[in-house]
Amino acid sequence: MAVELEVEREAIRSSVRELARDRIAPRAADIDRSGEYPWDIVQLFRDQDTYAVAFPPQYGGLSGSALTLSQVVEEVASVCATSALLLAVQALGGYPILLGGSEEQKRTHLPELASGRKIAAYALSEADAGSDAGAMRTRARRDGEDYILDGSKMWITNGSVADWIVVFASTDPGAGTRGITAFLVDGDSAGLERRPIHGKLGIRGSDTAELIFSSCRVPAERRLGQEGDGFKIAMGVLDRSRPQIGAQALGIGAGALRYALGYAKQRQQFGRPIAEFQGLQFMLADMGAQLEAARCLVHEACRAIDSGDQRATELAAMAKLIASDTAMKVTTDAVQVLGGYGYVNEFPVERMMRDAKITQIYEGTNQIQRLVIAKRLLA
């Protein structure tokens, strides 16, 4: 069984690798320059069933394995971080339904996300409640068969384009995190205003938005779990999604290393390729070793998720922390290898360096990852 699963996983990864290099890589620079949401890549993922990798077969998916998804995300991120985020965030928006939804909600909505017919978003962060989710000010009050949402969410990936948005709101402000509840909100709901955010340093083609809720009515049947289950659902989702951001970071770093290696073999100085100079060889060796170490940690975290290992929380935080810090260092070193050429957008490593930075910030800053890890180690 394990051998069959590994063969299937490698077949999926190989197919996505070919797709990434043939169809996505030629679009990466244009996506970055224009800052436009890449609907053509969305359609490509729909046509190729790539979104389905994140979801279990019983709900219209192909795998549902965290490890398989991480390998797919890495392959895509090695050529285009924005395109990889399309896959990671579709999973992020689907995980609350998978973890906290009823069987009817799962069978209704997960196949829509697995096929890519519907686009998902995950709305937890607020302007004054990013790392401190318990400080959220978005409120949900019961009104007959509905809930009425008031408040706002900030930095929401897919916020402007999502068909379904998982929104976390407080139904009992006095209870802190125990008063948070999750809702599945239609992106076209009356009382919901979506404001796109432009001018980002990296992942420029990814849609990022502020969401404003003004007496936004949500049917009670779209509540995920019971009142007060929201924080538990949110943290369970982050345990699953953080290794995928680690995988995105790995892909960005791997793409930068691949380009730097090719450049170093061709660039001539002092009558020979710069790859023959030991100082540069040591830099490239460190880049490769650090990426491989981070990859092992990301895969270990994914295996823990897939097997239900109790260490999944700390491993997920470690994977996200180490992989994103590694991506930032490797991409910065790749720019250094290319010298002046690395500093201009004619070459992809400057884009990769800009894209790498966000992996240290979203899904919980790396400072928060260290808090999570320390808390688990000291428990």
And the tokens for 184?
């599945």
Distance of CA 152 to the CA centre of its chain: 21
Residue with tokens 């709901």: 189
Q: How far apart are the C-alpha atoms of 109 and 3, rounded to whole Å?
A: 31
Enumerate the active-site residues: 363
Nearest to 133 by CA among 169, 172, 93, 91: 169
Q: How far apart are the C-alpha atoms of 248 and 156, rounded to whole Å?
A: 18
CB count, 10 Å around CB of 270? Answer: 8
Instruction: Tell me the residue length of the chain.
Output: 379
**Is the distance from CB of 83 to CB of 251 less than 8 angstroms?**
no
Q: How far apart are the C-alpha atoms of 25 and 192, rounded to whole Å?
A: 35
Residue with tokens 């679009």: 27
**Is the distance from CB of 51 to CB of 87 less than 8 angstroms?**
yes
